[in-house]
Amino acid sequence: MAILVDKDTRIIVQGITGGQGTFHAGAMLKYGTKIVAGVTPGKSGEQIHGIPVFDSVREAKNAQDATASIIFVPAAFAGDAALEAIAADLDPIVLITEHVPVKDEIRLIAEAKRKGITVIGPNTPGIITPGARQKVGIMPGHVFTAGEVGLMSRSGTLTYEIAAGMTNAGIGISTA
């Protein structure tokens, strides 16, 4: 199983000034995730948790040498947010938002495939690499311990339950 985020991954949080973006950026920072920028149009110059906010993904990438993105924006805007991250060649892109219109999903996945970019989501809990202390998502980091087993599931809650069971059994996870 491929490791999609590691100690060198530099994250942009799209939608960082919204409630979910702010909350989960804080939780990711607490876990150890290397968040280098936030993006919310019209909010350039602000800071959230000490993270500089930019108006566009391209501006954030260029200023902070970002490599990946996580998206916390409403469903109606999530497709365009993902396309902006794809256009900036960020990889991977983690799209947390649920209820993204199907036409937007089709369009963004087609563009990501064309450019060879990995998109996780929409409607995903994200990616975690415990050994690198990188959590790009909303999962509870404390149930994951570092190890050699990859974990993949369609259900966030079942992923957490399996991870907790593996941790309790002394089995570590490389990525989930």
> What pLDDT does residue 137 have?
97
> What pLDDT does residue 4 have?
93
> What pLDDT does residue 1 have?
72
Q: How far apart are CA 100 and CA 156, in angstroms?
A: 17
CATH number assigned to the domain with residue range 11-127, chosen from the 4 options 3.30.70.2740, 3.40.50.720, 3.30.70.1150, 3.30.420.40:
3.40.50.720
Q: How far apart are CA 166 and CA 89, in angstroms?
A: 35
User: Where are the domain boundaries for CATH 3.40.50.720 in the chain?
Assistant: 11-127
pLDDT in tens, 71-104: 999 999 999 999 999 999 999 999 999 999 999 9
Q: How many CA atoms lie within 13 A of 146 on its CB side?
A: 8
Tell me what the pLDDT averaged over the chain comes to.
Answer: 97
Where the chain has pLDDT below 70, the residues are none
Token pair belonging to 118: 């990995």
pLDDT in tens, 35-46: 999 999 999 999
